[in-house]
Amino acid sequence: MKKIMFSLLLLMFSAAGFSQTSVLPMDERGKYIFLEVVELPVVKKDVMSANAKRFFKGYSKSIKLNSSEGDTAFYGKGKMILSKNLIGVGHPTGEAKYNISLELRNGKYRLILTDFIVTPYERDRYGNFVPVTVSTALEKSPGKLNNAEWEKNMAFIATESRKIAEKLKTIMSNTIKDPKPEAKKPAAVSTATW
């Protein structure tokens, strides 16, 4: 009976371990892609456009807005830092650059993160982690030796993509065009008359 309970317990933990590795799907070009379509029937299109601009301003350090087609499509580039953490202490292992596109329609939007390029980090002579000159696309086969590192990077990229999508969803669900009202400027004080 103890052997059966132990094997069932072991089976449950191994199934939980396999379920945590999430792989991004591939698109028709053979590139890994994170795609999310969200319907927001309450939010108007002009408010969604203002929310999208607010999203890109909020992520200005990691996502840069390259171009936009009116108020219906926004295109940019982003970068996420891959890290290795052990109980809160870790170091960066690389960076993943990607393309982001946000397209708006009446009552819904589509977020696409694709073209992931991974650049590993190495320590320089001063002890800082700096990017290596060689970058590889995420789609390139890692081989047997680097397969574990590739799977960790893939899981990290999928998790960070979901975090970006959740942040975008909270910003896009705002129904007010300008949520922060402008503060009134105080009246100018005249020093000429007293």
Domain 23-172 belongs in CATH node 3.30.530.80: yes
CB 118 within 8 A of CB 142: no
Percent of the chain with pLDDT over 70: 79
Residues 6+ apart with CB under 8 A from 100: 63, 75, 76, 77, 78, 111, 112, 113
Tell me the per-residue pLDDT of 38-78, one tens digit each, with 9 for 90 and over. Answer: 888 888 888 888 888 888 888 777 888 888 787 788 899 99
Whether pTM > 0.75 for this model: the answer is no
CA distances from 151 to 5, 18, 103, 118 (A): 31, 12, 30, 12
pLDDT of 18 above 50: no
Token pair in block for residue 149: 């590192």
Question: Which DSSP category does 32 fall into?
Answer: B
pLDDT of 24 above 60: yes
Work out the average pLDDT over 16-29: 65
Task: Tell me if residue 81 falls in helix, strand or coil.
Answer: strand
CB 53 within 8 A of CB 72: no
Identify the CA nearest to 39 among candidates 101, 113, 105: 105
Query: Where exactly are the structural domains of the chain?
Result: 23-172
